[in-house]
Structure 1
Amino acid sequence: VFGGSVKAVLAYISGDSFGIPYFLDSPIKLREFQRSFSSLSYILPNSNFWNDNEVIVKTNDRSYTVKDYDTLFEDINYPIAQKILKLVPEVWSNEPPGVKMYCFYGNLVETPEVLYYKSGFAKDNYPNIYYGDGDGTVNLKSLEGCRLWQGKQKQQIIHRMFPMGEHNGILQNPYLIRSVIEALEQ
């Protein structure tokens, strides 16, 4: 998750079931629990990957981009997230790692890209979700972060996409397993 995920924003605003069946727990019931994870701030969409004018959350009254987190957290009545976000160090570095790197990820799975709250941020309101490419959890632009280092270091960066590879399901993909074994044998 080089550049974040719109699903992290969804977790802050409405909660996210992350695959837990709704009859066990609804996303809104999980929200307070998820908000307590300081790690959630690490995976918010990052301005190194999302354009300043690229909308990630929309209501009838306004649109929010990666530059609007402070306002968004005020508007969802969760200002403590502003403080948490300011304490979290930047995860992404434009400086390449300087080691051979294998970057394996899934794509061609509908992944939340824009969250539309037609009725605003009412406590039990769940958004209409507009989807883009990714692994179902992480957006493709974030998964492809390793490509930004190509040509900037002498060590090789090998990336491989696995079509229809879901965020966790990809771990059972025989082609991924074979690729990992091949990488380890080199």
Structure 2
Amino acid sequence: METLKIRVQIIQESIYRDQRFILNDCARFYSTETIEWLDKSQVSAGRYFTDIVDMLISFGYRRRKTLFGAPYDWRKAPSYNMDHYRIILPPNRIRIMQRSFTSSSFLFPSYNLWNEDEVFATTPSKNYSIANVKEFFFDMKYTDGWSQYQNTAYLLGKLEAPNVEVHCIYGFEVPTPEKFEWPKGYFPDYQPTVIYGDGDGTVNYRSLDVCSRWIGRNGGKNVRFIMFQLEVDFTIKRVERRTIFRSFLCVTVHPLEKTNHLDVLKHVTSFDIIRKVVYGLPL
């Protein structure tokens, strides 16, 4: 755990470094090897993009030729380039390490989707929402968390459409942490009672379904039609009348019922959607 922990250094903005004398490197960048399995032992718990890579190879794709991966340090939020990890040790044993991961603060409710008065954590003396996140970190005596949150909270801007073709595949109807309640004397050193909502077990449904907001709003470009007509002498005459409209890029949304965060990567429907996109088949 001491090896994986990230050192925080505040110089104008937060800088996150590995522990002294420890080097963590993303080997074989552009290769899919380091995203197929999360560890070298290749046991089932570390299975990640293996099934999708195997499927694409069966279509004729070749590693490092037509099939690439972009591994990154999963402890850090996207601004530093853990989206999902399992707690297999007592929480207090790994708390110092986990708190240092900026990806944890990246999983806080998005100001684009949650109202300022929506409570995500409670104690007998205070409610916490995105309006007082700073108090949440200071009350738990982890002030570095506030710096981490400031660096990650606005990374995605206004969650506007990305202006590229998008196919969203996500799970739902899996109990997903939505609110945390600490009884008297439990905050912040003991585990809270977790209130669950809809989602994929890691990400809440309203965040997963944000792609639906992009349908009909996904960039695109102006398309201009210039009309021509065939004259009696078989010459073609250009007609000055033109029709201009906005062509939006495709956005499709594919929710998978009762499918958790990682199982999406090995779901038969996910494979079918990817196959159709690769071959240009209708979805």
Q: TM-score, normalised by structure 2?
A: 0.55
> Equivalent residue for 1:9?
none
> Which amino acid is 1:82 matched to?
W
Query: Are the equivalent residues in 2 in contact too, given 1:56–1:114 (CA < 8 A)?
Result: yes
Q: Secondary structure at the match of 1:48?
A: coil
- 8 Å contact kept, 1:147–1:159: yes
What is the CA deviation profile of residues 102-131 of structure 1, one whole-angstrom value per residue up to 9, with x for unaligned ones? 1110000000111001134142x1111111
Structure number, greater radius of gyration: 2
Aligned match for 2:145, one of 63, 81, 97: 81
Specify whether residues 48 and 89 from structure 1 end up closer, same or farther in structure 2 by C-alpha distance, changes over 3 A only. closer
Q: Which range is displaced more, 63-72 or 77-86?
A: 77-86
1:40-55 matches, within 5 Å, as: 40-55=104-119
- Counterpart for residue 157 of structure 1: 251
Number of residue pairs matched by the alignment: 166
Q: Tell me, what secondary structure is at the counterpart of 2:133?
A: helix
Q: CA separation in 2, counterparts of 1:68 and 1:20? A: 27
Q: Which has the higher contact order (CA 8 A, sep 6+)?
A: 1
Evaluate the alpha carbon distance shift between residue 148 and residue 116 of structure 1 in structure 2; reply closer, same or farther with a 3 A threshold: same
Pick the structure with more helix per residue: 1
**Larger strand proportion of the pair:** 2
CA distance change for structure 1 residues 54 and 89 in 2, over 3 Å: closer, same or farther?
closer
SS of equivalent to 1:143: helix
TM (normalized to structure 1)?
A: 0.82
Q: CA shift at 1:147, angstroms? A: 1.6
- List alignment gaps of at least 5 residues for structure 1: 1-16
Pick one of 169, 177, 182 that aligns with 1:104.
169
Q: Percent identity?
A: 29
Specify the alignment match of 1:34 in structure 2. Answer: 98
Structure 2 counterparts to residues 14-33 of structure 1, below 5 A: 18-21=85-88, 25-33=89-97
Q: Check whether the contact 2:110–2:153 (CA below 8 A) recurs between aligned residues.
A: no
- When residues 89 and 48 of structure 1 are mapped into structure 2, their CA distance, relative to the original with a 3 A threshold, is closer
Amino acid at match of 1:166: N
Q: 1: CA distance between counterparts of 2:152 and 2:256?
A: 31
